Amino acid sequence: AKGVVAMSQLLDRLLAKYKGRLPEAYITAIVGLAENDTNRRFLNDSDVHAALLIDCMIGESSETDDVCIYTGALKAECFTEALKSCKNNMRILADDYAAAKLVLDSVARDCASQNIEIRPVVDNDSHHFYTVGSKHFRYETDHGQASAIANFNEPETVKVLRDRFNKLWDASAQVELPLTE
């Protein structure tokens, strides 16, 4: 019964948050996939779709789920709320380190986690993605349109993406970080 109450609360919160911006049926379907850890790929194609998935994947993850994000600039409209509520260890790689650092710094005092590291990317990849724990991922197929595929339970793909992320992360350790105020 606790899971049903939690899903109901999550669904109610997200229906209110995205009212008028996303169809109710889409929100309900995504929350259902998330709650049931359904192994089914689905498409999403805008920043608001991305924000909904970030709420469901990162915002609702357990404290033991490591989060790896490879992003362009860590869009505030997509990530701010999840960054504030996330209690996980989080590693972020950003193409635009300065812009991403500004977003992270703007929420740092309100963050539930103090375990967030951010680094600039050495070799930009053409596809941004993130993984949450060992099962959840979102992988951008068209950055300009924010089009992506995602799944709440695809461990094989998460492993491939996590290995790719770790290689990018290790390479970024050699970069001297820019000074910021």
**Biggest distance spanned by C-alpha atoms of the chain:** 50
| 62 vs 144: CA distance, rounded Å | 31
Residues of the chain with pLDDT below 50 are: 1-2, 181
pLDDT at 1: 41
| 84 vs 15: CA distance, rounded Å | 20
- E strands, the chain, are 42-45, 67-71, 90-94, 116-120, 129-132, 136-142, 147-151
pTM: 0.89
CA 83: distance to chain centroid? 9
pLDDT at 112: 63
Q: Are 27 and 53 in contact (CB under 8 A)?
A: no
pLDDT at 98: 92
pLDDT at 181: 47
> Nearest CA to 69 among 88, 41, 52?
88
Reduce the DSSP state of residue 126 to 3 states and report it.
coil
| 76 vs 160: CA distance, rounded Å | 27
